[in-house]
Structure formats: structure tokens, C-alpha cells
Structure 1
Amino acid sequence: MGSFAALEALPVSGVPERWPALLVPGLTGSKEDFIAVLQTLAQAGRRVIAVDMRGQFETGGPDDPGAYTCAALGNDVDVLAHTIGGGEPVHLVGHSFGGLVTREAVIDGRTKFASYTLMSSGPGPIVGPRERAGRIMLAEIPERGLEYLWHNRMEPEALAAGVPDEIMTFLRKRLFSNSPVGMATMTGEVLSAPDRCEELIQVEVDLLVLYGEHDDGWPPEMQSDMARRLNAECVVVPGAVHSPAVEAPETTAAALTRFWNAAEARLLS
């Protein structure tokens, strides 16, 4: 399995009093996407850990495409949850493609999760402008590599959005640190993921669907419908787009903490 790069936050006291949480990022993201919420979440009394998935940024990975399927990455989540929990249930959050990965671990039933949150994720393949971008990535990465993707797609988009220089430097470093095989395979996965709501609803776990009101990945109405199908709680984050933990960290952290506390209260009652 190997080692995984992670960011960890603890309560100021250093002594967690509640069950821990594991946060899993999206396709082109990393553990740093959760920096703005980590300490706020930990202040509620938990150990909170965000990871880079296999082949992402500071976590290495092989040149085997089979290592980057949702099923293979979901197995990693199972192992990580067992390690982090140490026998206790773990709150699990999957952002975007990370939602497709983490639901594999929830559905396989090997790990008892304290709760499960799908953040800006969907029931099946991604759609809309991000689908189109994904198909371009899938075609370009094997033929032209990550450098072409950066210079011709990601850098111009970031510059147009006014991203500060220091963040640009980080984004470039992160992209070039990814496994090209991993990124290509994961892109194929997000474009072809099956709808697994009928399987997920069979699992006994508290579910939350959380997304930005202007999400440009899976449309808000699709995520709302998914929440209905799953009998899940649904939280819409005002002003946020596809990364609520970055774009509205206080609102996102408050929603997660409230949901986690309620889930623990039900499980312990």
C-alpha cells in the first residue's frame, strides 16, 4: 500500500474527544484543498486528516493504470480509515472525484464509518463544462503530457481568474508532481463512473450531500436529486462553486461539524 502524504489538525488541547475525520480531495486537487477548514474542524474536538490520494502531489504511485481505478483508490480509503480510526468509526468526506472514490469504501462494507459526506460530487459521470475539460485532458495527457496541459489549459485559466503568483507556483508544482498515468486513469474514471445510489442507500450510515450553489461540476439540481434518492441531508453553501472548503470555509466547516456531532449523538444514544 505504501505511505500517504497528509495534513493533520488537532484540538488546541492536543486531546481529541470526538471521533476523527478523513478528508479525500478531487481529481486535480490535493490535501491542501482542505487547509482552510482543518483547524476549525479540529476545534470541535477531533483529529482531522486530509490526504493526497495515490499518485497525487506528494503521495507516490506506480505506472500501473489499475492502481488508479475508483475501486483500487477506495481500498486505500478503507485502509487509511482503519489506521486513523484505530478501531473507532471515522467521519468520511469525499470532494468531487474523491466522492466517487470514497463511496467505494462505504459500499464495500469493510469499514464502519461514523458518517459520510459527498462534497460537490455526483451520482455518476461528471457533466457539463468539467466533462468537456475532462475529455480534453484524457486526450492530451497521454500524448502531450502534463506540461502541455499546464501551459495550454490550466495556467491561462488561472491567470484569467486572477490567481496570485504564489498560488500559481503551487498549482504548477502540484500538477507536475502528479502521476501522468494516474491522472489519465482517474480522468477516465470520472467520465465513466456508474450511478451507485441504489447500492449506497443500502448502507446504514448518516449521509450528507454538500455543494456550492453555483457548482459547475455536477449541477446543483443533480446533487439535490441525489440527496433525495439517498434520503441524505442536503446543504447548499451560498456563494460557493465547486470547492466549498476553499470558497466558503467557515460555512462549510460549521455544516460538517454540526452534521458530525449529530451523527455521533445518534450512534452513541
Structure 2
Amino acid sequence: MSLPTTAESAYGLDEALPSIDWSVAPEGTRAYRFAAPSGSLAAWDLGDPEGERVVMVPGITGSKEDFALLAPILASEGYFVQSYDLPGQYESADAGPAGADGWSYELFVDDMIAFLEAGSTPAHLLGFSFAGIVAQIVTVQRPELVRTLTLLATPPLAGQVFGGIRSVGWIARLPFFTKHFFGGVMIWNVRTNFSKVTPERLAFANARLDHTRRESVDGIVGLMMKTPNLYRPLRESAIPKLVVAGEHDLWRAKLYRRFAGRIGASVAVYATGHSPCETTPHQLALDMVQLFRTSEKLSAR
């Protein structure tokens, strides 16, 4: 897989994506374990270790495999791409605290900082969904570690972000809406294929859930119900930023565009759902590389 040269060609390549076995790592991938503050995390890297470093972190109920289509495109451009499973999730299930309590932003931030510090910095950082919240915190706290910031399907709100979900956000205001309740909803969404993913993707997603600890899902949902407002420090940061979303995501595209404006980021919205890294990887890769080149121009001044 290679980087397309135009938005039109990227769209065409995404329309013709082949079916893949999501449990199989892209050719040339190196799998390893990373000793993080929360425990042993499963990690991947792909590409030239001498190339500019790209760190991509998956979200809730996700894993490094979510980038199986995106990573090879970036690696083909000479980038060194790395990813890891969050504690409690898939092959990092044994990491993190026992039970549904003890999951904190500090835990995830410390892991991300440790991973970034373990390689060349600054790195291009992508946070997918919940990991985008963590990536914002890291960018504000440790800006010297981040070359560019891509927020992929990251909640475009602060506070109780589930209240902004299209059509059903009002449920988040009801007494029974707890982290355990919505954690169950998210798992049900995967198990029943509510999002209408391909059979190959569904098989992998269900197998992955068999390893993911339920309490980690509940813990992350609880954190997302208290998403910090970092609009001002991000807007004041000189780090190039990109907000990416799908037209049919949980939150409306207008909220993503407003969010991008609040933090001083460019924005890209594709004709897809919550997972552009899976469904529109060529369009995403093209926009990410354009962001990376922006940072190169800024550093050359």
C-alpha cells in the first residue's frame, strides 16, 4: 500500500479496499512487549526505525490492529510507525488496576509519556477516540514530545461527552446512565454488529473482546464522562493539529468542526463512521502526511 497523490485517488483506493484478516499483522511488523508504568503492554512497529516516528494509540475496546491498513501506507513513505494496546484492552489485558476503580487519566498519560520517551522525539502522535483525550493531555503537559497531533474520532466536547451523541445523547442525563451501563452498551454494539462492519472485522472484534477486561471498559467510560477542557492551551500551542471524523460518527460533523476551531486545528471529515483508520485509511494517510509536512516547514524556519 502506498500514499495516494490526490484526494480523488485516495477516495478511489478506499472504495476498493480488500478484505483482510485483522488478526494478522501487516507484513514486516515487529511485535513486542513494552514495560509501561501500568504493566506490560503489547506493541507493534513497522517501517524504517531511522524514519520520522509516528505513534498511533487505539481507543476503548480497540487495539493496535485498528491501524493495520493505515500503518503500511505511512511506512511506505519512510515513517516509523508504532502502536500499543491500552492497559486492560486485548493483548494488554493484564496491565492496569484490578476492578473498575483505579482507572485514571494519570495512568493512561503516564503510559503514553513513557512510550514516547522510549523512542526518538518529538513524534507525530495520533490518538483514536478515548486515546485522543489522553493525547491532548500529553501534548499540553509534555509538548516537547509531540511533533504533530492527530485527533481521530476523539470526542469533540468536554465534560460528559456522551450527552452530545446524535439522537440519543439525552439518555446520558438519566439516572441509570452509569459507566457500567454505557460500557455494556459499547460491548453490545460490537457483539451485535450494530455498526455494520465486514464479517472479517466482526470476527476479529468479537475475538478481541474475549480478552479485553470489562472493568477497563467501564473505567474508561467513566473517564470519558469527565473529559477535561483543554481548548485554550491547545489553541495556544504551536504544534500542528488535525481533527479527523466521519460524517456518520457518534457526534455530528459540525461538532468536530467547532472543536477544531476551538483548539486551532485543521479538520477532515470523511464519508464514513467512527473508524476512518479502518474504512478510509488512504484519505486519512494523505491528510496526516500533509500535516507532517506542515511541521517540517515550520521547523525549517
Give the shorter-chain TM-score range: 0.7 to 0.9
Residue in 1 that maps onto 2:116 = 81
Matches within 5 A, 1:51-62: 51-59=84-92, 60-61=94-95, 62=97
Please state how far the C-alpha of 1:268 moved relative to its aligned partner.
3.2
Whole-angstrom CA distance in 2 between matches of 1:38 and 1:32: 9
1:267 aligns to 2:281 (yes or no): no
Whole-angstrom CA distance in 1 between matches of 2:255 and 2:124: 24
Could you tell me which of 246, 256, 277 is aligned with 1:212?
246
Q: Aligned AA for 1:138?
A: H
Mind listing any 5+ residue stretches in structure 1 that lack a counterpart?
none
Deviations 1:52-75 (A, max 9, x none): 111111113231556532232012
Whole-angstrom CA distance in 2 between matches of 1:140 and 1:40: 34
Q: What do you get for the CA RMSD once the two structures are aligned?
A: 2.6
Residue in 2 that maps onto 1:6 = 43
Please state how far the C-alpha of 1:140 moved relative to its aligned partner.
7.2
1:187 aligns to 2:221 (yes or no): yes
Q: Aligned AA for 1:170?
A: F
Whole-angstrom CA distance in 2 between matches of 1:89 and 1:140: 36
Please state how far the C-alpha of 1:201 moved relative to its aligned partner.
2.1
1:229 aligns to 2:276 (yes or no): no
Residues 190 and 202 of structure 2 are in contact (CA less than 8 Å); yes or no, is this contact kept in structure 1?
no
Residue in 1 that maps onto 2:63 = 30
Q: TM-score, normalised by structure 1?
A: 0.84
Whole-angstrom CA distance in 1 between matches of 2:43 and 2:247: 29
Aligned residues: 253
Please state how far the C-alpha of 1:81 moved relative to its aligned partner.
0.7
Residues 78 and 110 of structure 1 are in contact (CA less than 8 Å); yes or no, is this contact kept in structure 2?
no
Residue in 1 that maps onto 2:290 = 258
CA 1:180–1:81: 2 relative to 1, 3 Å = same
Whole-angstrom CA distance in 2 between matches of 1:173 and 1:162: 14
Secondary structure, in 3 states, of the residue corresponding to 1:157? coil
Q: Aligned AA for 1:68?
A: W
Whole-angstrom CA distance in 1 between matches of 2:117 and 2:227: 25
Whole-angstrom CA distance in 2 between matches of 1:171 and 1:136: 24
Whole-angstrom CA distance in 2 between matches of 1:265 and 1:187: 38
1:63 aligns to 2:98 (yes or no): yes
Residue in 1 that maps onto 2:130 = 97
Please state how far the C-alpha of 1:191 moved relative to its aligned partner.
2.3
Secondary structure, in 3 states, of the residue corresponding to 1:58? helix
Deviations 1:46-101 (A, max 9, x none): 1001211111111132315565322320121111111122xx31000111111111
Residue in 2 that maps onto 1:138 = 180
Residues 105 and 111 of structure 1 are in contact (CA less than 8 Å); yes or no, is this contact kept in structure 2?
no
Q: Aligned AA for 1:76?
A: D
1:72 aligns to 2:114 (yes or no): no
Residue in 1 that maps onto 2:16 = none
Whole-angstrom CA distance in 2 between matches of 1:89 and 1:63: 33
Matches within 5 A, 1:11-22: 14=48, 16-17=50-51, 19-22=52-55
Residue in 2 that maps onto 1:167 = 201
Mind listing any 5+ residue stretches in structure 2 that lack a counterpart?
1-36
Residues 71 and 104 of structure 1 are in contact (CA less than 8 Å); yes or no, is this contact kept in structure 2?
no
Please state how far the C-alpha of 1:43 moved relative to its aligned partner.
1.4
Residue in 2 that maps onto 1:177 = 211
Percent identity reads 24
Whole-angstrom CA distance in 1 between matches of 2:229 and 2:198: 34
CA 1:89–1:161: 2 relative to 1, 3 Å = same
Residue in 1 that maps onto 2:191 = 155
Residues 240 and 248 of structure 1 are in contact (CA less than 8 Å); yes or no, is this contact kept in structure 2?
yes
Residues 240 and 294 of structure 2 are in contact (CA less than 8 Å); yes or no, is this contact kept in structure 1?
no
Please state how far the C-alpha of 1:192 moved relative to its aligned partner.
2.5
Identify the structure with the greater helix proportion: 1
Whole-angstrom CA distance in 1 between matches of 2:137 and 2:143: 10
Q: Aligned AA for 1:91?
A: H
